[in-house]
Structure 1
Amino acid sequence: MLTFEEKQTIIESFPELSRKDVSMKRVNYHYADSKFDKTVVVQHLHPNGNAFIYVADVPGYEPDSRGLVNVREASEAELRKTIEDAIAGLAEEKTEAEPVEEVWLDGHNSKLELKEEIGAWNIYHGLNLEDSFGDYQEAADYLREEGFKKVEDGGIVR
């Protein structure tokens, strides 16, 4: 495990981070050019070597509910990579994905629409809500079980 001083030296080698001392001899490091309200990259670097890095929405990490991963046992290479990824995550603006809207047809040309809306996957028959599911796969499986096939771009039924 890297010591507090070794971690501090590695973190401070990133010129885009600024240091802020916090309580109990802990140190935070901020990324001022963040595209978001969140600017803390390294949170609570403690003299015992413990620290957290903010990697919410960064692929390849499994952060806690606050978007943080613990780097207490990280090697120098792991620590550097995690910091680089965290900075990159805060530096790029996230683009909202277009909500999914699909048309499904059955053998009688009955049409249902599958729409992603506020965290749910809703199936509509015209303006009427037919059913709602927690994820896409559940909704698609339901439609297939009912004999529907998705209409791809260009009107091809699959």
Structure 2
Amino acid sequence: MLTFNEKLAIIEAFDELERKNVSLGRVNFQFQNSISDKKNIVYHLHPNGNGFVYAGHLASYDSDEKGMVNIRDFSADQLHQLLNEAIRALSPIEKTAAEEVIVGDSDKERWVDGENNLLILVNENEAWNIYFGLNLDASFDTYEEAEGFLREEGFTRR
């Protein structure tokens, strides 16, 4: 288990997080650019090493009803990865030129995997099409089929 100071050093390496000291020596870290009401990414990091990270938008973590993941027994790599994913999930989305060309005014969703690959799911002409850049990657008759495919391939909705 990492110590409080080791976890603190990892978290403080993320420039986009702002430290907020709270009671009993605990520390919160806020992400001011969050697209969600959730600003606290790290919640109640305690001097005993316990603490929580908000992962409510991440399907790959076992979170509580508030979307929090206990980081008490996380390794340095695990904590770093969780923070990267949590920040990315709460970051504003900028539309790429390719996305603008493909999507236009159609209904769409963005899906990303652990390597930050982006796929766009678009509802067009009564089909659900998955694009990688400008390339059509797959096409499905129903949303459920497309969603199942994306989840099997390790993608989560963003």
**Shorter-chain TM band:** 0.5 to 0.7
Counterparts of 1:88-107 in structure 2 under 5 Å?
A: 88-92=88-92
Task: Report the CA distance shift for 1:61/1:92 in structure 2 as closer, same or farther (over 3 A).
Answer: farther
Point out where structure 2 has 5 or more consecutive residues left out of the alignment.
Answer: 94-106, 110-140, 143-158
TM-score for both structures, normalised by structure 1: 0.58
| Cross-structure match for 2:51 | 51
Whether the 8 Å contact between 2:35 and 2:91 is mirrored in structure 1 is: yes
- Give me the whole-angstrom Cα distance separating, in 2, the residues matched to 1:64 and 1:21: 23
Question: What amino acid does structure 2 have at the position aligned with 1:42?
Answer: V
Count of matched residue positions in the alignment of Structure 1 and Structure 2: 100
Q: Give the distance between the partners of 1:21 and 1:96, measured in 2 at CA.
A: 40
For residues 83 and 57 of structure 1, the distance between their equivalents in structure 2, rounded to whole angstroms, comes to 12
State the SS of the aligned residue for 1:44. strand
Q: Which residue of 1 aligns with 2:87?
A: 87
The C-alpha deviation readout for 1:42-98, integer Å capped at 9, x for no partner, is 0000000001000002121121001000000000000000101110111146x987x
Larger radius of gyration: 1
Q: Percent identity?
A: 44
Residue type of the partner of 1:53?
V
Q: In the alignment, what sits opposite 2:4? A: 4
Greater per-residue helix proportion: 2
Q: Distance in 2 between matches of 1:96 and 1:50?
A: 39
Q: Secondary structure at the match of 1:91?
A: coil
TM-score, length-scaled by structure 2:
0.58
Secondary structure class of the residue paired with 2:25: coil
Task: Provide the rounded CA distance (Å) in 2 between the counterparts of 1:90 and 1:96.
Answer: 18
Q: Is the 8 A contact 2:33 2:92 kept in 1?
A: no
Q: Equivalent residue for 2:65? A: 65
Q: Please give the alpha-carbon distance, in whole angstroms, between the structure 2 residues aligned to 1:54 and 1:89.
A: 10
For residues 92 and 46 of structure 1, what CA distance do their matches in structure 2 show? 29
Q: Give the letter for the 1:75 counterpart.
A: S
Q: Which residue of 1 aligns with 2:27?
A: 27
| CA spacing shift, 1:96–1:43, aligned 2, 3 Å | farther
TM-superposed CA distance for 1:37, in Å, is 1.4
